[in-house]
Amino acid sequence: MQELDPVDAGGLPPSRWGAASTRALRPPMPTAPPWRPTPARPPVPDSLWLLVALLCSLVGIGWLALAMEVHWQQVRGAQAQAGRATVFALRVLGTAALLASLLLCLRADHASMAVLVWVMSLAAAALLVAFTLAWRPHWLRWFWWGAGPVKR
């Protein structure tokens, strides 16, 4: 009669135990390789990534709003005209800021949650810019520094 191992004594002879039973006899594997250095500084918290993403959304929506002639005149004065280069720069910067916002959301969360948070941040930023344009449009002057003095 064959003697059974106390760890895996399922009633089978040792020749029938297979690879599953020998795993219990092996020493546990280390969780991290010993040659991996520890990080020099703590990682950035996800909430900080999301805050920066929200700010990028706000600035991006603001720039896209200022690229429209109506909003440009509302912010800069009735006689102000934005040049073609200014409108193009505002559109490119707005698009880049929204893309950066999406990438920051993806950095903070997994894809399905990041897209949801990004869309919500776009909605919040659009609402904030719309209310600012309705209530205090001159506050959006800070979004474009190259416009020169305000023409009234």
Return all residues near 125 (Cβ < 8 A) that are at least 6 apart: 54, 57, 58, 60, 61, 62
At 66, list the tokens.
Answer: 């200022």
Dump pLDDT digits (tens) for 37-84.
666 667 778 889 999 999 999 999 999 998 988 888 888 877 777 788
Look up the pTM and report it: 0.66
State the Cα–Cα distance between residues 129 and 90, nearest whole angstrom: 15
State the Cα–Cα distance between residues 100 and 103, nearest whole angstrom: 5
pLDDT for res 143: 75
Give the 3-state secondary structure of residue 143: helix
